[in-house]
Chain A
Amino acid sequence: MSIESSQSPVSIERAALSAALVRVAKQDRAALQEVYRRTSRKLFGICLRIFGERADAEDAMQEVYLTIWHRAGSFDPARGNPITWLATLTRNRAIDILRASGRRPTAPIELADNIADDTPDAEAVLIGLGDDARIGTCIETLAKSDATMIRTAFFEGTTYADLATRIALPLGTVKSRIRRALLKLRECLA
């Protein structure tokens, strides 16, 4: 594969990751190791976010990479962004594991600023998350409580109804707040 000099580091990273996933689909262990090398920090971030504990997050990571091993064939390099595919798979797998363990988070969500800041650091941009990471900046432009709800929905797979229960607000209120926040987010991302 020739890589043109005009390509950004992000698209080079994506192309490399796509190529590695294609090889994983052919049961190439070295390719899975390459995927691991390129993505373990990011995917660990998702697992850690969902489980809170390192040991649980690492156990989930094993399941995640085994799932990648088995499902790499369903990734379509012509259509999909490999980072999205991996992040979605990781998030879904981790949430499944959490639910299967009976530890589905049901704790009340405090709509205060008590959640770790996800603002992307320079390194995140360097390792190929550049334009995706823009959402980290945009979400900071929302009201803290709206940002917390969106993050919770993303990381914990919460539905509107779950969110309403945990925040102790009417369903309609939660829904209209999130929809307003999503429109604002779209404006910032556009």
Chain B
Amino acid sequence: MTDLSMTDDDDLTAAELALGLAADPAAMARRAADPAFADRVTWWEDRFAGLTAPLGNEPSGELWQRIAARLPVNDNTGGLLRWKVISGGLAAVSAIALFMLAQRPQIELPPQPGAPAIASLSGEKGSALAISYDSSARRLTIAPVLLDPGKGDAELWVIPVGSKDAISLGVIDAHKPSSHQLNPAQARLVATGATFAISLEPTGGSPTGHTTGPIVASGKLVEI
């Protein structure tokens, strides 16, 4: 206490603010306006932080891995809204495109050598699920991390490279890992650089063929 302008009462107000004992708007405003008072709040905060000495318990060894798995790794948030707006207008176009794809003779692509590709889909609440894709087997493996479809279903979409439109890959299990065999038409859409997205849809999936609910997670497919 070197600042003579601070009375005991001022200092107690600073301590109360640091502890959160009184949600006092006047004190909060004073902290912003009065450096001497702000210093006292900080002083008390620094002291109270010392109350948090370890209790002698350590978190489990794998906790860091769980945190690391939830860090955003992809450039997966930019453009999402724009894509969402456009997707409605392009839905008709994509339906035709999909129809045409489906009508093509189903030529099996030769299995592509190489490691499976993966995507980590995350949203505002962090990592939602991880996807790995084995292109030679056309097999998607989906591992939900934190995905709550509420009363409806989570639907998986792919936005192919160079496209802005989302094509449904179907409803997925939001609670446990699942494996999906893509048909050849779907497999053509899924390549490194494609973006996966999850939307929340009514039970059974989007009734319209394009996303109707919020996009809760997205991420790019990358080679590992």
Q: Which residues of A contact B (CB under 8 A)?
A: 29, 32-33, 36, 40-46, 48-49, 54, 57-58, 61-63, 65-66, 69, 80-81, 83-84, 87-88, 90-91, 116, 118, 120-121, 123-124, 127, 129, 131-136, 139, 150-151, 153-155, 157-160, 163, 178-179, 182-183, 185-186, 189-190
Given contacts A69-B71, A150-B19, A182-B12, contact A84 B49 (CB under 8 A): yes
Q: Which residues of B sit under 8 angstroms from A124, Cβ to Cβ?
A: 53-54
Q: Which residues of A sit under 8 angstroms from B48, Cβ to Cβ?
A: 135, 154
B59 interface neighbour in A40, A127, A157, Cβ under 8 Å = A40
A179 contacts B64, C-beta separation under 8 Å: no
The answer to the question of B207 belonging to the interface, with a C-beta cut-off of 8 Å to chain A, is: no
Given contacts A84-B46, A159-B23, contact A58 B51 (CB under 8 A): no
Q: Which residues of B contact A (CB under 8 A)?
A: 1, 8, 11-12, 15-16, 19-23, 42, 45-60, 63-64, 66-68, 70-71, 126
CA distance A139 to B70 in the complex (A): 38
Q: Which residues of A sit under 8 angstroms from B59, Cβ to Cβ?
A: 40-41, 44, 54, 57-58, 61
Which of B20, B23, B48, B49 has most chain A Cβ within 10 Å?
B49
Which of A48, A84, A133, A185 has most chain B Cβ within 10 Å?
A84
Can you offer 23 A-B residue contacts whose CB atoms are under 8 A?
A: A32-B71, A36-B64, A41-B58, A42-B52, A46-B52, A49-B55, A54-B57, A54-B59, A58-B59, A61-B67, A62-B63, A62-B67, A88-B45, A120-B53, A129-B53, A151-B51, A153-B19, A154-B19, A159-B20, A160-B22, A182-B15, A183-B8, A186-B11
Q: Which residues of A sit under 8 angstroms from B64, Cβ to Cβ?
A: 33, 36, 40
Known: A49-B52, A124-B54. 18 other contacts (CB 8 A): A32-B71, A41-B54, A42-B53, A46-B52, A58-B59, A58-B60, A61-B59, A80-B42, A81-B42, A84-B42, A87-B49, A91-B52, A118-B55, A120-B53, A133-B50, A153-B20, A182-B12, A182-B16
Q: Which residues of A sit under 8 angstroms from B15, Cβ to Cβ?
A: 182, 186
Which of A116, A123, A151, A179 has most chain B Cβ within 10 Å?
A179
Q: Is the interface of A mostly helix, strand, loop or mixed?
A: helix
Given contacts A40-B64, A159-B20, A183-B8, contact A48 B50 (CB under 8 A): no
